[in-house]
Structure 1
Amino acid sequence: MGELIAQFHITSIDWDPPKGFKRHSWDEEGLMGHDPTWGRFWEIKYASNKQRSQLLDIQNRLYKKLKNLTKGNYYSMTHADMNWGNVLIEGQKLSVIDFDDCCFGWHAADLANSIWNTDPQFASIQEISKQALLKGYKSLRNNSDQVIKDLDLFYLVRCLQILKWVEDREKEIGDIEPIIDSILRPAINRAIEMEIIKS
């Protein structure tokens, strides 16, 4: 998977979009702006007033971090949802599907999205999965230090994005409160551990 994502990134860096091509961007505005692409996660209803205040603080601080983050060869067209649910395996061949989230974004975000998972069964192998992903990625992608350095930051960003994504699908999913809680509390704790906000 890491090699596959690296191939996408290497190709997209040198890709010139055709005239008139438009696609949304998961830049600082699209991810952490006043009206992010997936919605204002700091206003979700299944959160306490304190949690919403913390989320708003995180949003403001992450916006500033992203605004100052290097783009250059670390930012281009990305799949933005390349997880195992969107990869078909046939023998040794991997085929990618589901390009609806495809957008301009940071490569580190693309990697973070691929390892993001709330399934409790995945928790025990998440670090192994992450290291395998990075090993494959680095094997093809030269000068990937900045991408890897920003991975934890974008993992947090993904957690926050998903909060609003889940809330917007309450009718389809059903009881979302425990799902929100399982993402929200760890996300706030992660932000505290990363010293983005104070406890």
Structure 2
Amino acid sequence: MIPDGADLDRDIAAEALTEHAVAPGSPLELLNRSENSTYLLTDAATGERSVVRVHRGGYHEHRQIESELMWLDALSADGVVAVPRPLEAADGSRVVTVDVDGAPRHVVRFEWVAGSHPEEDALGAADFHELGRITAVLHGHSREWPKPSGFDRFAWNWHTCLGEAPRWGRWQDSAGVGAGERTVLDRAQSLLRDRLSEYGSGHDRFGLVHADLRLANLLVDDGNLTVIDFDDSGFSWFFYDFAAAVSFIEDDPALPQWQDAWLTGYRTVAPVNPADEEMLASLVLVRRLMLLAWMGTHDHALEAQTKLASYAKGSCDLAEGYLRSGGRTLG
């Protein structure tokens, strides 16, 4: 039985590790607590490091996590990009399930990848150029890869982003959203719905994407680059990946330059249809409203603690620019 406590996820990780060939009592150091909790594990016997991810309860089913790992396998086998390798438990499984008072909690252990994240306060066009290039490479693989039987990842569509069943909650319930903010953001959401309905979700525009491909999910080590954190990967508009790339910094004055650099990088691998480019502002605003909702329900996350106070007002500023432009820009 896993005890209750402030660090329940650490207890879950420790329980799951009894299924792995690591020394009992090996230390776990919290790396990040956001949608999931991730820990640095250092094997007390060998000194080997790895990363343990404890999945939030009720977010992914077992087969959905297995499907994420299938894509990682394919990306690695096809030599597309470097990604972390999932590590097997003693019985060969890669997703260990721990019972917590009758509810399943899933845990995955990954190899340790050396490197550091690009610094957010030093972002430049070169960073976004590389991010655009990597995104195009992943999109190319996604379009061509035959999904295995039973492959199951959820969708980021209107219904689950801002519609009747928003996966991250309702932005209307977030801190800083009063009557005035609701009026502006409701108008913008109505225009978003119309624009995305016109754009559609055909196979050329909608498919398997990383869905959180921002610089915080890249590791760079002596010129070697690894893409991490495919936990939110699923089916969405391909160019939603640009919106994810500018998460939490959508109102930075440098956004137009970053967008140009991202598109230039993307075009080194694949063309960009004008209709796709025209939808970038809409997809950025979709993501912005989703993050407003997300921070309202994830007050333990660093982003919520540092950005939520001003995020509603910034969202309204973007929405007003979006409305003035008829849904074509945010400025």
Query: 1:64 aligns to what SS in structure 2?
Result: helix
Q: AA paired with 2:268? A: S
Q: CA deviation at 1:11?
A: 0.9
Instruction: Please report how far the alpha carbon of residue 56 of structure 1 lies from its aligned counterpart in structure 2 after TM superposition.
Output: 2.9
Matched, 1:89 2:220: yes
Q: Deviation per CA, 1:49-106: give whole Å up to 9, x if none.
A: 1322332333333223323323321211101111111101123332100111111111
Q: Which of the pair is proportionally richer in strand?
A: 2
Q: 1 CA distance for matches of 2:240 and 2:306?
A: 28
Alignment check: 8 A CA contact 1:166 1:180 kept: no
Distance 2:141 2:284 in 1: 23
1:130 aligns with 2:259: yes
Residue 164 of structure 2 is aligned to residue 41 of structure 1: no
Partner of 2:132: 2
Give the Cα separation in 1 of the matches to 2:256 and 2:306. 29
Return the structure number with greater helix share.
1
Runs of 4+ residues deviating >3 angstroms: 171-177
Corresponding residue to 1:139 among 250, 258, 268: 268
Q: Counterpart amino acid of 1:146?
A: A
Distance 2:217 2:306 in 1: 25
- Matches of 1:45 and 1:88 in 2, distance apart? 32
Distance between the aligned counterparts of 1:183 and 1:10, measured in 2? 34
Residue 166 of structure 1 is matched in structure 2 by: 295
Task: Please tell me whether the aligned partners of residues 188 and 320 of structure 2 are also in contact (alpha carbons under 8 angstroms).
Answer: no
Aligned-residue CA RMSD (Å)? 2.4
Corresponding residue for residue 234 of structure 2: 103
Structure 1: gaps (5+ residues):
none
2:279 aligns with one of 131, 146, 150: 150
Q: Residues 175, 95 of structure 1: CA spacing in aligned structure 2 closer, same or farther, 3 A cutoff?
A: closer
Q: Which runs of 5+ in 2 are unaligned?
A: 1-130
With over 3 angstroms needed to count, the CA separation of the structure-2 counterparts of 1:32 and 1:66, relative to structure 1, is farther
In the TM superposition, residue 131 of structure 1 has moved relative to its aligned partner by 1.4
The counterpart of 1:56, out of the listed 186, 198, 214, is: 186
Moved more, 175-184 or 150-159: 175-184
1:25–1:144 distance in 2 versus 1, CA, 3 Å? same
Inter-partner Cα distance in structure 2 for 1:126 and 1:5: 17
1:97-117, Cα deviation, whole Å (9 max, x unpaired):
011111111111111211334
Counterpart position of 2:319: 188
Give the deviation of 1:171 after TM superposition.
4.3
User: In the alignment, which residue of structure 2 is the partner of 1:30?
Assistant: 160
**TM-score scaled by length of structure 2:** 0.53
Q: Which has the larger radius of gyration?
A: 2
CA distance in 1 between counterparts of 2:274 and 2:225 reads 25
Q: TM-score of the superposition, structure 1-length normalised? A: 0.84
Counterpart for residue 68 of structure 2 = none
Once the two structures are TM-superposed, the CA of residue 37 in structure 1 deviates from its matched residue by 1.7
